[in-house]
Structure 1
Amino acid sequence: MTSTSTPGLARFNALEEHAARTALHEACAATAWAERLLAARPCATAEDLYAASDAAMAELTAEDLAEAMAGHPPIGRPEPGDPTSAREQRGMAGASDALKAEMLELNLAYQERFGHVFLICATGRTGEQMRDAVKERIGNSPEQEREIVRAELGKINRIRLARLVEALEEEDA
């Protein structure tokens, strides 16, 4: 991640508030997170943007986290027509039918236990790695799991912010 300002970051900083809010909402469904990032603009560097994201994530309440998680489809079932969730869950795309069925069962058991979807930064993970993670995490306490989810959301948000800045940079090209 860059330590200098880029044209994409400059463009993000200059976005009209509504456009910036919309772009941030696509990265994370938590309204409080987006509002904190809007208030942090302008960011001098991409690292400043990521640090603002991390700080905002650390301040989210349980309700804010629930709002953020509601924006994520279950692992193995990306939203139709959503290239972001399909790209992030690529590790499940080539999974066997047996693994997909197992993930469905594990997702349902996890959701029954915790009241929300199993959330993991799936980028770069195989279907087996995601299955193993849900199996490991289902035994956590709700408090432990909430903090793991917070950390996973933070990773996802950093990836999505980097993609947002890159996309804005490509608009200049």
Structure 2
Amino acid sequence: MTSSSTPGLTRFNTAEDDTARAALRAICASGAWAEEVLARRPYRDAEELLAASDTAVARLTPDDLTEAMAAHPPIGRPRPGDPVSAREQRGMTGATDRLKAEMLELNLAYQEKFGHVFLICATGLTAEQMRDSVRNRIDNPPEREREIVREELGRINRVRLARLAVRPENEGTPRP
């Protein structure tokens, strides 16, 4: 461990495999991603962990991406009782009813076209930015959209892993 290690990263590095695997699967539902990140422990610092995640995301097969996306709720409809989903989609909280209805319509059209949820790293985005993004991406060819989804998944995983790595000592078991 270097001096740049954090309490959360130390706990993650020293956790039993099953505990660390569960923490990773809460971050990203892809089993392939979780196993690759798990296999590279221990990490010297958060940057090394994030780089391992980036590598694992780049190696995901189409089936692995599908597995990862299946765990993401549609924008504007975070899972009830899921603080991670609610926190990440906070930008939709103050959206008007009209904008929420438009997002629902766009989400459904996107899902019908591509066969999966519209995936975006929503952390820090406003409802309008998310709406504009789905509007812009819905006309993409499937191959281009799949690569954008991979990029967005990588961003989401980075945000969640960073939270895991810096989690204070008194917050217990690693989780996103």
TM-score (norm 1): 0.95
Q: What corresponds to 1:130 in structure 2?
A: 130
Alignment of 1:91-110 (within 5 A): 91-110=91-110
**SS of 1:65 mapped into structure 2:** helix
1:71-110 Cα offsets, whole Å, 9 max, x none, are 1000000000000000000000110000000000000000
- Figure out how many residues of one structure are paired with residues of the other and give that number: 170
Is residue 26 of structure 1 aligned with residue 26 of structure 2? yes
Identical pairs, percent:
70
CA pair 30-168 structure 1, distance change in 2 beyond 3 A: farther
- In 2: Cα distance, 1:33 partner to 1:24 partner: 8
Contact between 1:78 and 1:89, CA under 8 Å: does it hold in 2? yes
Alignment of 1:1-173 (within 5 A): 4-167=4-167, 169-171=169-171
Q: Which letter maps to 1:112? A: E
CA apart distance, 1:168: 5.3
Question: Where does structure 1 lack aligned partners over 5 or more consecutive residues?
Answer: none
CA apart distance, 1:170: 3.9
- In 2: Cα distance, 1:92 partner to 1:98 partner: 12
1:25-78 Cα offsets, whole Å, 9 max, x none, are 000000000000110100111100000000000000000000000110000000
CA apart distance, 1:167: 2.4
Question: Where does structure 2 lack aligned partners over 5 or more consecutive residues?
Answer: none
RMSD: 1.2
TM-score (norm 2): 0.94
